[in-house]
Structure 1
């Protein structure tokens, strides 16, 4: 068991920190809104801190799950940042989906202080976080990853080191690229079924057992047919992630025509007020075109 700090108590971080406490780790949490950290502490019995530095002091591991590149920098560096409170030999594990550029930047800063840094973005959504069955894709030094893996296991179904610093974030980009195309394809299939007068659930029951089957079909088709999108990963966050994918594709020379198109479709969803709807709301755009 270890002394662990967890920075960021959103829909993912809140239950993830809870799994760490339940596993027997000594957990201190930090959240930009202190009231949320206080509520977590009251619910789970761990401590809360008012700055990332305070949360990180004396810990062996610091986990973060915040919003974007700037949010991550703000909790890591500076007078009140976590790095200022961490000792040499401690490990920082970032679960935020951010650019590989900021990951490598912070990896270098941490290395100068003797701090290990693992980029460890997650997939599995709010349900995966609540049930402790997230997929975690990691980048960083092998020995540092080896220290962190057992701690990450408190909320992971699978955790793998893919390569050096930034490899975890690159893998998460692959994940989001794949999801974008899958959700658009499923949206079009269900919309086509509706326009053809077919029973959508009957269609899904049959085609899900063949090559068309996917996690999205198994977990989102019913709610898509019911026009229910108040759950899961928000469109606003997906556009942030796809923006990272497209920027990185420009840097690496990769071609992502479908991803670029689906990103614009999500922009259309935002325009009709769906920024906080989950990503399966692409079908709402098709219905709005009728």
Structure 2
């Protein structure tokens, strides 16, 4: 199947630029967004079409992408999209959601001869805007093979990790890692500030060694400058961690550090930082 006609459902901070990359790559793109004004703005910026419902956007599409808010949104939007999708088409969900909803949608799509991939992304708004996302995928290998060239329009790496739900499980692991790393970085910077050492110089040195991380390279300087009005919001991280903690209860794993950091993020929310970047964990220690 040659994929030329694609749709994108959900034009948030991630979906808007992702759909834009598809349009710039020459695909025939139709977009849907709950707030129509944003879809109109996208249409004015890129070559494409606007639909007024998920079903309208999905009708006749070879491949339908979606990136919405949570499990409820995924169910609602996907159900409408699937009702209009043709046999042999593919639905790719980039939302960070539960593995359970991914498996349910996989079965629903399978029964209608529609391919389904759960494909949450990592890389944040900057990664979406620059076409440098990492995509973790669950589903069937033949479906992934068809969708991968199109996914790679806005990704630097996409990989099939197993059966349906595997992409979401991988994203949970990703967020578990990030939560622990950001908290460790926040404590290190707080320690350095209390000790009176030049933290920016220290970061310059230790970022060349075993302590190096993406968070250190990209967030340490802004944390030290007290800048948090960008990036991946605390509200979103708490949503993601809630999904991971719920899955841990189901599979019997112990996520003591993740649960603790989740409560630290609750403290940040109470302090008015719901929309701050996740690196704002430092504010708990310095206020």
Match of residue 42 from structure 2:
40
Give, in angstroms, the shift of residue 111 of structure 1: 1.1
- Written as runs of structure 1 = structure 2, the 5 A alignment for 1:40-119 is 40-77=42-79, 81-119=80-118
Q: CA deviation at 1:85?
A: 1.1
Equivalent runs, 1:1-290 vs 2, <5 Å: 2-77=4-79, 81-288=80-287
**Deviation for aligned residue 1:145:** 0.8
Under a length normalisation based on structure 2, what TM-score does the superposition of the two structures give? 0.98
Provide Cα deviations, 1:229-259, integer angstroms capped at 9, x if missing partner: 0111000000000000000001001111100
Once residues 127 and 27 of structure 1 are traced to their aligned partners in structure 2, the CA distance between those partners, rounded to angstroms, is 22
Give the C-alpha shift of residue 45 in structure 1. 1.6
| Alpha-carbon shift at residue 167 of structure 1 (Å) | 0.2
Classify the secondary structure of the residue corresponding to 1:230: coil
Give SS of 2:109's match: helix
**Number of corresponding residues:** 285
Shift of 1:76: 1.1
Q: Give the Cα–Cα distance (whole angstroms) in 1 for the partners of residues 193 and 53 of structure 2.
A: 51
SS class of match (1:108): helix
Contact 2:24 2:47 (C-alpha < 8 Å) held by counterparts: no
Shift of 1:112: 1.1
Measure the CA separation in 1 of the matches of 2:205 and 2:47: 47
For residue 67 of structure 1, report the CA deviation from its aligned partner: 0.5
Deviation for aligned residue 1:56: 0.4
Secondary structure of 2:275's match?
A: coil
4+ residue runs over 2 A deviation: none
Q: Which runs of 5+ in 2 are unaligned?
A: none
1:172-199 per-position Cα deviation (integer Å, ceiling 9, x unaligned): 0010000000000000001111111111
State the secondary structure of the residue aligned to 1:50: coil
How big is each residue's C-alpha offset from its partner over 1:94-114, in whole Å with a ceiling of 9 and x where there is no partner?
A: 000000011111111111111
Structure 1 residues 16-56: Cα deviation after superposition (integer angstroms, max 9, x where no partner): 00000011110000000001001100100200100000000
